[in-house]
Amino acid sequence: MIDDTVLLVPAFNEGAVIGQYLSSARQRFRWIVCVDDGSTDDTAQQAQDAGAIVLRHPVNLGQGAAIQTAIEYAQRLPVQWFCTFDADGQHRLEDVETMRHLAMTTDVDIILGSRFLGDATGMPLLRRWFLKAAVWFANLTSGVKLTDAHNGLRLFNRHVAQTIDLQEPGFNHASEFVEKIKANHYTYTEAPVTIDYSNYSKAKGQSMLNAVNIATDTLTAKVMNR
C-alpha cells in the first residue's frame, strides 16, 4: 500500500459509483480525502464506508472549491505527494502509481496526466476536437506548453499544495491550475494516462458549453489584468 501519496477526490452526486471506486483505491493508497460537494444522494456515506476521509460542503460550490478544500485538509497528513483524482470512474489507479514512480526519478513539482500522450478510450470525436482546441488556447494564454490542459489527474508535491491557492470554484479551476504553474514557477512534466469514457462519465462530465464559458472567462481575465 502506498502511504506517501494522498488522493484528493471531489465528488458531487456520485453515489452510484463512488463506493466501489474508492474501495479499490483504498487497497492501493492509505490516504483518500473525498470532498462531498453538496451532494443530494448518498455520496458521503458511500465514500466513508469505502474508507475515505470525508469532508462535506453544505451546498454545491464547484469542483475547484472541492479540490482546494481537499488540498488544505490533506496538508495535515504525513504525505509528500498529492493527487487530484476524479470520482466518476475516468481515471485509472495504475496511472497514479506510474506518475508517483516518475516523481521519484524526476525533479519536478507537478506531473500532469495527458490523455493525448496515452489513450482516451471511448472519447467522442467532437470532444476530442474541442479538447485539442482547448489545449491550443491554454498554451497560448498561459505560456505553459502542454498536450492536455484539462485533465483532472495531477500529481504534485507539498510545496505546490502549500502555495497553489485555487480561487476559481468551478470547472475553470483547470485553467487556473495551469496559470499557477507559470505564475508560481512550478516545474512540471506530463505523463501518458488513460481516460475511460463510460456512459456514466460522459453524462457526468462538463458540457461543451461549460468549456466555451471557461475559455471566455480565461480570455476576459487576461484582458482585465493587462
Residue 86 pLDDT grade (very low, low, confident, very high; cuts 50, 70, 90): very high
Tell me how far apart the 2 most distant CA atoms of the chain are, in Å.
Answer: 49
- 36 vs 122, residue with greater confidence: 36
Decide: pTM greater than 0.75.
yes
29-37 and 188-196 strand pairing: unpaired
What is the residue extent of each domain of the chain?
Answer: 2-224
- Determine the pLDDT at residue 213: 46
Give per-residue pLDDT as tens, 203-224.
555 544 444 444 444 444 444 4
Residue 202 pLDDT grade (very low, low, confident, very high; cuts 50, 70, 90): low
Averaged pLDDT score across all residues of the chain: 87
Give per-residue pLDDT as tens, 34-63.
999 999 999 999 999 999 999 999 999 999
Residue environment code for 191-202, b if the CB has 16+ CB neighbours within 10 A, otherwise e: bbbbbbbeeebe
Give per-residue pLDDT as tens, 110-119.
999 999 999 8
Q: What is the Cα–Cα distance from 120 to 3, expressed in whole angstroms?
A: 28
| 64 touches 36 (CB < 8 A) | no
Residue 133 pLDDT grade (very low, low, confident, very high; cuts 50, 70, 90): confident
Specify whether domain 2-224 bears CATH 3.40.630.10. no
Give per-residue pLDDT as tens, 152-194.
999 999 999 999 999 988 878 888 999 999 999 999 999 999 9
